[in-house]
């Protein structure tokens, strides 16, 4: 997604001119999101469907922007399902996630879910009992955790090794026999989500090829027919080197060939992407409150912190940022400033873990300037511990879609 910094900076200046205290805000660029999502859907091969994993950012304007573009939403809790169903009663929904309780499975049966991604034999059996009681059949995908030789690891692995996610292949025969004896459960296919933060398009293509091969093999071994394979989410954002992002153009063009050669001509391939859809539409903005040196290090203290924007701490990176100079200074004493030095950017929390950027070179930052952190539209506000220290929540602004 191309960042529209000019529009974002204009909004920041506008907000700052009206603010009566240091500013802290999230700004989401809905036109950029709309364009990006349409590009992703438009470049995927015919046989693919793009679902949006709402856990990345479930704000209503984000979902409203995406709903006319994506094939559906992927939810991972009863809360997300209720939220999506309240506003999008007809939109196809996939229900995945570990540890689903009976009430959530029942919700899936009654709330017109396209399919449930089943995580264990016990979950499968509970779903079957609930579906018999409701006298409604339910479609499922079995989420399977498989070992892959020489799997190139990313910084966040959900499978390919022991994890709480998915069904082990040792349990697969029992699951298939169970399904064959229970017509209330319709097996649509298999679901794989082995990793997140994938930055390498070629490696992702290889992974998908292996998923498809594996699924075809299971169809032969178990004599089953499937119509869907869900290849998960997991396409990453390069926070450390933002100019080197996942090469979607290569990925989508080579995917076409891969799918036409995979020997599964009827199959629908679903993606459930979160981060790659919304990360680049969001910006976290902190106004500089203080600048100081402690021992040999420089610290810039911004309004807000990791209780709003936990992404850098969660991923262990130093988040890149832009400085938007603000020219007003209301005090009679000199304005603190730092030039041509490396800085650490922290927030207002009483913990050294409240670190957003570290060892970041800056040309010039003054108290009162704005720091703008891009790629803050996914797993940012929604994964943060908002009420720690009871600071106020940041403003949430959405650059509007054009009529
Ligand atoms: C099962 C599953 N699907 C999809 C996603 C979305 O992943 P991403 O945001 O990396 O695309 C996740 C994220 O944790 C997940 O666990």
Same domain, 269 and 285: no
Atom of ligand 1 nearest to the CA of 233: 11
Residue 159: pLDDT band (50, 70, 90) is low
Same domain, 295 and 236: no
Residue 122: count other Cβ atoms within 10 Å of its Cβ.
10
Q: Which domain holds residue 301?
A: 5-27+280-399
- Note the pLDDT of residue 2: 84
List strand residue ranges (DSSP E) for 114-240, in order.
Answer: 115-118, 138-145, 156-157, 167-168, 185-191, 195-196, 228-230
- Note the pLDDT of residue 157: 66
What is the residue with the minimal CA distance to atom 1 of ligand 1? 193
Number of domains in the chain: 2
Q: Would you say residue 57 lies in a domain?
A: no
Q: Is the CB of 272 under 6 A from ligand 1?
A: yes
- Note the pLDDT of residue 389: 95
Q: Is the CB of 377 under 6 A from ligand 1?
A: no
Strands 48-53 and 268-273, sheet pairing: parallel
What CATH number does residue 195 fall under?
3.20.20.10
Of 4, 6, 10, nearest to 33 by C-alpha is 4
Same domain, 22 and 126: no
- Where among 227, 246, 273 does a domain terminate? 273
Mutate to test the pocket of ligand 1, among 232, 235, 273 (most ligand atoms within 8 A of CB): 232
Residue 284: count other Cβ atoms within 10 Å of its Cβ.
28
How many angstroms separate the CA atoms of 373 and 360, rounded? 13
Q: Tens of pLDDT along 162-213?
A: 788 899 999 999 999 999 999 999 999 999 998 889 999 999 999 999 999 9
- Note the pLDDT of residue 173: 96
- Note the pLDDT of residue 160: 74
Q: Tens of pLDDT along 343-390?
A: 999 999 999 999 999 999 999 999 999 999 999 999 999 999 999 999
- Note the pLDDT of residue 161: 75
Q: Is the CB of 96 under 6 A from ligand 1?
A: yes
Question: What's the whole-number mean pLDDT along residues 294-307?
Answer: 98
Residue 52: pLDDT band (50, 70, 90) is very high
Going from the Cα of 194 to the center of ligand 1, the distance in angstroms, rounded, reads 9
Atom of ligand 1 nearest to the CA of 197: 10
Say which of 48, 219, 262, 350 is annotated catalytic. 350
- Note the pLDDT of residue 248: 98
What CATH number does residue 10 fall under?
2.40.37.10
Going from the Cα of 196 to the center of ligand 1, the distance in angstroms, rounded, reads 7
Q: Would you say residue 79 lies in a domain?
A: no
Residue 25: pLDDT band (50, 70, 90) is very high
Same domain, 158 and 222: yes
Strands 167-168 and 138-145, sheet pairing: parallel
Answer yes or no: is pLDDT of 341 > 90.
yes
Q: Would you say residue 109 lies in a domain?
A: yes
End-to-end Cα spacing for the chain = 21
Q: Is the dihedral of CA 82, 84, 90, 95 positive or negative?
A: negative
Atom of ligand 1 nearest to the CA of 274: 9
Q: Tens of pLDDT along 124-143?
A: 999 999 999 999 999 999 99
Percentage of the chain beyond pLDDT 70 is 98
Going from the Cα of 230 to the center of ligand 1, the distance in angstroms, rounded, reads 11
List strand residue ranges (DSSP E) for 234-296, in order.
Answer: 268-273, 282-294
Pure H helices in 223-320: 248-260, 275-278, 311-315
Q: Is the CB of 119 under 6 A from ligand 1?
A: no
Same domain, 210 and 255: yes
More confident residue, 165 or 279: 279
Same domain, 384 and 300: yes
Answer yes or no: is pLDDT of 262 > 90.
no
Answer yes or no: is pLDDT of 7 > 70.
yes
Q: Would you say residue 187 lies in a domain?
A: yes
Same domain, 289 and 224: no
Contacts of 320 (CB under 8 A, 6+ apart): 239, 242, 357, 360, 373, 374, 375
Going from the Cα of 74 to the center of ligand 1, the distance in angstroms, rounded, reads 9
Q: Would you say residue 150 lies in a domain?
A: yes
Same domain, 303 and 195: no
How many angstroms separate the CA atoms of 255 and 40, rounded? 13
Q: Would you say residue 47 lies in a domain?
A: no
Q: Is the CB of 195 under 6 A from ligand 1?
A: no
Same domain, 111 and 16: no
DSSP-derived 3-state class of residue 112: coil
Q: Would you say residue 48 lies in a domain?
A: no
Q: Would you say residue 311 lies in a domain?
A: yes
Structural element, H or E, at residue 7? helix 5-18
Q: Is the CB of 234 under 6 A from ligand 1?
A: yes
Structural element, H or E, at residue 27? strand 24-29
Same domain, 130 and 250: yes
Q: Is the CB of 233 under 6 A from ligand 1?
A: yes
Look up tokens 């190139």; give the residue. 152
Going from the Cα of 272 to the center of ligand 1, the distance in angstroms, rounded, reads 7
Strands 195-196 and 156-157, sheet pairing: antiparallel
- Where among 225, 248, 273 does a domain terminate? 273
DSSP-derived 3-state class of residue 43: helix
Question: What's the whole-number mean pLDDT along residues 95-99?
Answer: 96
Q: Is the CB of 273 under 6 A from ligand 1?
A: yes
DSSP-derived 3-state class of residue 110: helix
Same domain, 122 and 217: yes
Atom of ligand 1 nearest to the CA of 272: 4
Contacts of 10 (CB under 8 A, 6+ apart): none
What is the residue with the minimal CA distance to atom 5 of ligand 1? 233
The reply to whether 350 belongs to the active site is yes
How many angstroms separate the CA atoms of 169 and 172, rounded? 5
- Note the pLDDT of residue 148: 80
- Where among 225, 247, 273 does a domain terminate? 273
- Note the pLDDT of residue 195: 83
Answer yes or no: is pLDDT of 147 > 90.
no
How many angstroms separate the CA atoms of 403 and 401, rounded? 6
Percentage of the chain beyond pLDDT 90 is 91
Question: What's the whole-number mean pLDDT along residues 309-336?
Answer: 96
Same domain, 268 and 184: yes
Q: Quote the mean pLDDT of the chain.
A: 95
Q: Tens of pLDDT along 214-231?
A: 999 999 999 999 999 999
Atom of ligand 1 nearest to the CA of 96: 1
Q: Is the CB of 311 under 6 A from ligand 1?
A: no
Q: Is the CB of 368 under 6 A from ligand 1?
A: no
Atom of ligand 1 nearest to the CA of 234: 10
């Amino acid at each position: 997604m191309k960042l529209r910094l000019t529009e974002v900076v204009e909004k920041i200046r506008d907000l700052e001119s009206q603010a009566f205290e240091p500013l802290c805000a999230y700004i989401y660029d809905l036109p950029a999101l709309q364009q990006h999502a349409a590009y992703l859907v438009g470049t995927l091969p015919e046989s693919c469907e793009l679902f949006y994993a709402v856990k990345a950012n479930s704000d209503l304007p984000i979902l409203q922007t995406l709903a006319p573009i994506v094939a559906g939403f992927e939810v991972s809790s009863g809360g997300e399902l209720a939220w999506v169903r309240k506003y999008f009663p007809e939109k196809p929904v996939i229900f995945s996630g570990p540890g689903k309780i009976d009430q959530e499975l029942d919700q899936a049966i009654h709330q017109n879910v396209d399919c449930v991604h089943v995580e264990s034999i016990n979950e499968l059996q509970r779903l079957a009992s609930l579906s018999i009681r409701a006298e409604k059949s339910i479609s499922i995908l079995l989420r399977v955790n498989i070992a892959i030789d020489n799997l190139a690891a990313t910084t966040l692995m959900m499978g390919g090794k022991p994890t709480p996610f998915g069904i082990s292949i040792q349990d697969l025969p029992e699951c298939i026999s169970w399904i064959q004896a229970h017509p209330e459960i319709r097996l649509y296919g298999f679901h794989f989500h082995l990793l997140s933060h994938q930055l390498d398009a070629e490696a992702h293509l290889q992974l998908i090829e292996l998923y498809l091969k594996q699924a075809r093999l299971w169809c032969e071994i178990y004599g089953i027919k499937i119509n869907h394979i869900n290849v998960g989410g997991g396409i990453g954002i390069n926070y450390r080197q933002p100019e080197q992002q996942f090469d979607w153009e290569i990925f989508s063009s080579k995917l076409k060939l891969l799918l036409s050669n995979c020997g599964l001509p009827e199959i629908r391939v679903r993606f459930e992407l979160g981060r790659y859809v919304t990360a680049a539409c969001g910006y976290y903005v902190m106004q500089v409150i203080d600048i100081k040196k402690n021992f040999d290090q420089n610290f810039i203290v911004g309004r807000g912190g990791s209780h709003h924007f936990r992404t850098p701490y969660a991923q262990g990176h130093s988040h890149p940022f832009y400085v938007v100079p603000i020219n007003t200074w209301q005090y009679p004493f000199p304005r603190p400033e730092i030039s041509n030095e490396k800085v650490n950017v922290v927030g207002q929390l009483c913990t050294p873990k409240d670190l957003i950027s570290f060892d970041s070179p800056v040309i010039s930052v003054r108290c009162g300037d704005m720091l703008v952190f891009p790629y803050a539209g996914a797993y940012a506000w929604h994964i943060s511990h908002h009420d720690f220290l009871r600071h106020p929540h940041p403003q949430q602004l959405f650059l509007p879609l054009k009529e």
